[in-house]
Amino acid sequence: MLYYNTHYPAAIIMTLNDLPNQKHNHKQCVSNALAMAEQVCLERGVQLTPIRYQVLELIWESHKAVKAYELLDRIKPLQMAAKPPTIYRALEFLSEQGFIHRVESLNAFIGCRCSNAPHEQLLLICKNCQEVEERTAPKVMQALSEEFNDAEFIVHSKAIEIHGLCSQCAASVATDLSD
Ligand SMILES: [Zn+2]
Ligand SMILES: [Zn+2]
Ligand SMILES: [Zn+2]
């Protein structure tokens, strides 16, 4: 589909120039995301407690969507007292602040690559590597808004989740077939 290839304005991308499923300096992604979260919390006067910070850091380990129970497993060695509600409260905080997004169809979370202001998302979910690429897809969102206006439908949140193969996995499938 055409809109997969349309690039959104560079200004919207705060943390990354590269697509997540391509080779890039991921350490840079992580340090940008964490530094930005610290800065935003300071500005908003909210607390980025150690547990919130650790959950955010774990989510940013990769661009794959992470489930709450996986986070709990990984945080236990760091915070022995961590219980499911601890994780859920941290996830709720991070979502509210716009640092992460919930991927509804996977019941999992990803770090936001765009902006801390509320925004619409087109999520391209790779069924092979589980990486999720977030795009703002302004043309798609505009077309949808027109549709909602016609329907007189009041939208509370707008996120489109598409399942398929990322470019890297698609390329390796193509290589396998040609062997
Ligand atoms: Zn990265
Ligand atoms: Zn986002
Ligand atoms: Zn993939």
CATH number of the domain encompassing residue 31: 1.10.10.10
CA 132 to ligand 3 center in whole angstroms: 8
Average pLDDT taken over every residue of the chain: 85
Select from 62, 55, 61 the least CA-distant residue to 20. Answer: 62
Segment 110-134 mean pLDDT: 91
**Residue 1 counted as domain residue:** no
Residue 8 lies in a domain: no
| Buried b or exposed e, range 33-52, using 16+ CB within 10 angstroms | bbebbeeebeeeeeebeebb
**In this structure, is residue 29 part of a structural domain?**
yes
Q: Is residue 122 part of a domain?
A: yes
Q: Helix, strand or coil for residue 166?
A: coil
Total number of domains in the chain: 1
- Name the band, by pLDDT with cuts 50, 70 and 90, for residue 19: low
More confident residue, 115 or 151: 151
Mean local confidence (pLDDT), 99-113: 95
Look at residue 21 in the predicted model and tell me its pLDDT: 60
Cβ-based burial of 110 (10 A; exposed 0-12, middle 13-18, buried ≥19) = buried
Question: Can you give the residue range of the structural domain that contains 75?
Answer: 20-178
**Ligand 2: distance of its center to the CA of 114 in Å?**
5
Distance between Cα 22 and ligand 1 center (Å): 9
CB 163 within 8 A of CB 156: no
Query: 13 CA to middle of ligand 1, Å?
Result: 13
Q: Per mean pLDDT, which range of 16-30, 38-52, 79-93, 99-113 is the poorest?
A: 16-30
Is 95 inside a domain boundary? yes
User: Which ligand has the minimum distance to the alpha carbon of residue 113?
Assistant: 2
The per-residue pLDDT for range 70-93, each reduced to its tens digit, is: 999 998 887 778 888 999 999 999
